[in-house]
Structure 1
Amino acid sequence: MLIPNRFIRTAIAGGMIALTACSASADTAKEPKEAKALRTNLEKQLQGRKVQSVRATPLKGIYEVVLEGRQIVYTDNKGDYVLIGDLVDVAKKQSLTEARMAELMSTDFSKLPLDKAVKDVRGDGSRKLAVFSDPDCPFCKKFERESLDGVDNVTIYTFLFPLPIHPDAPRKSALIWCAADRKAAWHDWILNEKLPEDGKTDCPTPLEDNAKLAEALGISGTPALIFGNGRIVSGAIPKEQLEQALAENAKK
C-alpha cells in the first residue's frame, strides 16, 4: 500500500505550526522494540518521508509517529495503516495529540540564526520575538500594523520567508534585504507598501537558508511567531494575546 504524502499534508495543513530542535533524541529512549521495523516500513510507505520518533500510546497496538516537520500521525504495529486526528482521553477530557504538540512546539531561541533576520530593537529590547514573514502575506501585514503597533521593549527578528503562492514575494524580499537600512525598508513596505527606490536585488540573501530552516522546523505558513522562551504560535494573534505571550517570555 502506498500512501501519498499529500494526504498527510492536506490533513495537517490547517493546524498549528510545529517547531522543535531537540525532542527527537529524547524520544529515542522511549521507543518500543518494534520501532526500528515500524520506522523502516513507514518511511517506505510514505515515499521516504523521515520518521523522527515512534512511541506507544494508551491504545494497545497503536503507535504515535512524529514525521519530519513535527507532524503527528498514528499507526498500527506494522505501519500498514495511518490515522490522522486527535487521540482523546475521554475520562480526562484531554486531547493527547494536542498535549504532545505542545511538547514539540518549542525550540532554543538562542540557536536561531538571527543574523539572517531583519532586526528591530524597540525600547530596551529586553523581550525577544522572531517572526517568519512573507512580504505579500495579508496576515503578516495585519500582524505588523495592528498586533505589533505600539509594542515596546522588544527585539523583533523578522525572517523573510516568501511563500510559493506569492510569486513576487522573493523579489520584494530581496529588495528589502539588499537595502542599506533593512529595518526601514521592511517597515516602509509592510506598513506603507513602499519599496526601496532604485533598490538592488543582486546582493547575497538568506532567503534560501530561511526556507530550508522553515522546512526543517516544520514551518509552512506565515506569520509564524517564536517567543524568547521557546513558545511557538502561528497566525496574526491579537495584540492582547501577543503582550501576554511576551510577558510570559520575560518571566523565563
Structure 2
Amino acid sequence: MVKKWIATIAAVFAVNAYADEASVKKAIEAVYPKVKIDSVVKTPYAGLYEVFLDGQIVYTDEKFSFLIAEGRLVDSKTKRDVTGERLDELTKVDFAALPLDQAVKVVKGNGSRKLVVFSDPDCPYCKRLEQKELANITDVTIYTFLFPLEKLHPDAANKSRAIWCAPDRAKAWNDWIFNGQLPKAQGTCDTPIEKIAELGSKLNITSTPTLVFADGKRMLGAYPAKDIEKAMTSAASGSNGKK
C-alpha cells in the first residue's frame, strides 16, 4: 500500500514538473515566436529553469519574469560549472554517424585517435589551429569538413572545391594551410560542400574552427594543443569514445 502511495505521489510530481516546463516553453514562445526551443528543464537551483535554444543555455523562472543569458551557473559547494557540463551534454555529436567519407583525411603518426574539424579555408583561426596546434599533435587521424562561411569569406567555397577535387586531398589541404598554395590544375568534380553545409546547420555549427572529439564533445576555436590532447585523452578513456 505504501509503495502504491509513493508511486502515485512520484507520478503527480512528474506530471506537475512537465506541466511547469511546458508552460515555461509556451510563455517564451509567445514572446519569441521565431526562436526554436529545444528543451526546458527545471534545475535544483532557486526555481531556475534551464532553456536550451539556438545552441545556448539561458535561464528563467516559472513565470518567465526574467531571462538570464550568457551567464554561467556554478554550484557554490562543488565549484562545478553546471552550465558548461550541460552544454557539453546537450551539444554532443553522434560521432559514429558523421559522414567521414566527405571529409579531407589526414593521418599523423599511427592515426589511432580520431578528430573532426569543421574548417573554412580562408578562416585565419583555422590556419592558426593547423599551424600552431595540430602540427604539434601526432598519432591522430584528422577529418576536415570543408565548411566555407561565404558571408565572411566569399572565395572560400572556390578554394574548398579546388582542394576537394585535387588528386591528393590531404596534400592539397596541407599545401594551402602551410604554404598558401592551391592545386595548380584545379579540376571540377562533385563535392560534398552543400551536404556539409546542411550537416553543419543540423549540428548548429556556426563558426570555424569547430572541433568534434570521438566522445561527441565539441570545442570551438583554436585551442592550445595541450587542451586538444586532454580532450582526446578524455574521449578515448570513455569506452573508446562511447558513453
Q: CA deviation at 1:238?
A: 1.8
Whole-angstrom distance in 2 between the partners of 1:90 and 1:247: 28
CA distance change for structure 1 residues 91 and 153 in 2, over 3 Å: closer, same or farther?
closer
Partner of 1:190: 177
SS at match of 1:73: strand
CA distance change for structure 1 residues 89 and 151 in 2, over 3 Å: closer, same or farther?
closer
Worse overlay, 160-169 or 92-101:
92-101
CA distance change for structure 1 residues 29 and 166 in 2, over 3 Å: closer, same or farther?
farther
Partner of 2:21: 35
CA distance change for structure 1 residues 32 and 207 in 2, over 3 Å: closer, same or farther?
same
TM-score by length of 1: 0.78
Write the deviation string for residues 17-62 of structure 1: whole angstroms up to 9, x where unpaired.
xxxxxxxxxxx99962123333234234223221111111234543
Partner of 2:168: 181
Question: Which of 204, 211, 230 is the aligned partner of 2:190?
Answer: 204
SS at match of 1:94: coil
Partner of 2:148: 162
RMSD of the alignment, in Å? 2.5
Which residues of structure 2 form unaligned runs of 5+? Answer: 1-13
Whole-angstrom distance in 1 between the partners of 2:235 and 2:197: 26
Q: Does 1:72 align with 2:57?
A: yes
Q: Does 1:245 align with 2:231?
A: yes
Give the structure, 1 or 2, with the largest relative contact order (CA under 8 Å, sep 6 or more): 1
Over alpha carbons, which structure has the higher Rg? 2
Q: CA deviation at 1:112?
A: 0.9
Q: Equivalent pairs: percent with the same residue?
A: 47
Whole-angstrom distance in 1 between the partners of 2:32 and 2:53: 10
Pairing of 1:92-171 with structure 2 (within 5 A):
92-163=78-149, 164-171=151-158
Partner of 1:7: none
Matched length: 223
SS at match of 2:110: coil
Partner of 1:83: 68
Whole-angstrom distance in 1 between the partners of 2:144 and 2:15: 36
Question: Which of 62, 82, 85 is the aligned partner of 2:48?
Answer: 62
CA distance change for structure 1 residues 188 and 31 in 2, over 3 Å: closer, same or farther?
farther
Worse overlay, 72-81 or 108-117:
72-81
Q: Which of the pair is proportionally richer in helix?
A: 2
Whole-angstrom distance in 2 between the partners of 1:60 and 1:238: 37
